[in-house]
Amino acid sequence: MELHDLVGPIDTLSSNWPDQPQVYQHTPDTFRDLLTLHEIDELIDSNCLAARNVVLLRKEDGGVVESHEYTDGDMPRPGTVREHLDRGGSISLRLLHTLYPRLAILKNNVQGATLCRAHVNAYLTPGRQQGLRYHYDPYVTLIVQLHGRKTWPLHKPMVERPTEEHENFRLRGWTDEEHKFLATTPPAQSVTLEPGNVFWLPRGWIHAPYAVSEEPSLHITVALKERTLSWLVEHLAEIIVRHARADFDARQVLAPADLLADPNEALEWTRKYMIGALIGLDLEATMASALNKARTT
């Protein structure tokens, strides 16, 4: 499956990269060949689901259950994942592109079309239950609803342009003021997804989805980790570092006094070296290497 099967023409997407949530409508059976509830049930009930591929989310608060509570070594204890679901808890199925070739193809096609680093997860929530509470992701989330119905209450970003390295919710959480706002303020909008719906959720948008039908909700998420200017800075820096490691002059020893007593001379040499290396870069070759890196890593 290709990205355009989910969101329409790629040229339109590339030139008008969405910064607002939007839903793409398809027929209910459009994505039945991607993943089914029956396949997930088989993984769970045959005890073939490795611990690295599943996270249990508490019914009470949406928090993550500590893995030692339900795993022995690399595998969940037999029956524990099913028992968790039966009690109303949700599960997050991680890196499904490493388990299903068709999801690996989708992941690779999405990455090739957008240059965004991608992965594929899934979420299974029992009927009328909720998994994660309000949070935001540091990447675009492309949600494909496969089974059941799920409502997504949304708030506009409180953190602009978060990344995995900067203002990541997993590390930052909420301030007291933000927590109070989310507890007392109705969502800015709500979106209810049904099978065949694809939902584009830009990074930073706050959400806390919950199942609204009696049957369980299953959706996959294709994470699109966008390339940023800081990513390109990092790529150029890596090229300069590789060049410096091979450069005879750059391999000269810095005596302790060069750093402790009077580091200015060494810093000035380094600054000029980096400026010269940047000026001397072959822009065409550098961009080609950046594009190859974006498509493959």
AA identity, residue 237? A
Bridge partner residues of 199 (DSSP):
23, 143
pLDDT of 198-221, one tens digit each?
999 999 999 999 999 999 999 999
Q: Tally the C-alpha atoms within 13 A of residue 33's C-alpha that lie toward its C-beta.
A: 8
* Residue 230 contacts residue 59 (beta carbons within 8 Å): no
Identify the pLDDT of residue 148: 98
Q: Give whole-number Cα distances, 246 to 135, 236, 239, 243, 287, in Å.
A: 45, 16, 11, 5, 21
Find the mean pLDDT for residues 256-282: 94
pLDDT of 142-194, one tens digit each?
999 999 999 999 999 999 999 999 999 999 999 999 999 999 999 999 999 99
Percent of the chain scoring above 90 in pLDDT:
98
d(CA 207, CA 132) in angstroms, rounded, equals: 9
pLDDT of 61-101, one tens digit each?
999 999 999 999 999 999 999 999 999 999 999 999 999 99
| Mean confidence (pLDDT) of the chain | 96
DSSP structure string for 233-290: HHHHHHHHHHHHHH-TGGGS---HHHHHT-THHHHHHHHHHHHHHHHT--HHHHHHHH
Q: Give whole-number Cα distances, 146 to 88, 178, 205, 232, 270, in Å.
A: 19, 32, 22, 36, 54
| Domains, the chain, with CATH or none | 4-225 (2.60.120.650), 229-296 (no CATH)
At residue 140 the predicted structure's pLDDT band, cuts being 50, 70 and 90, is very high
* Residue 176 contacts residue 116 (beta carbons within 8 Å): no
> Could you give the residue ranges of the DSSP H alpha helices within the chain?
4-7, 10-15, 37-45, 80-86, 101-114, 169-172, 176-184, 229-246, 256-260, 264-279, 283-296
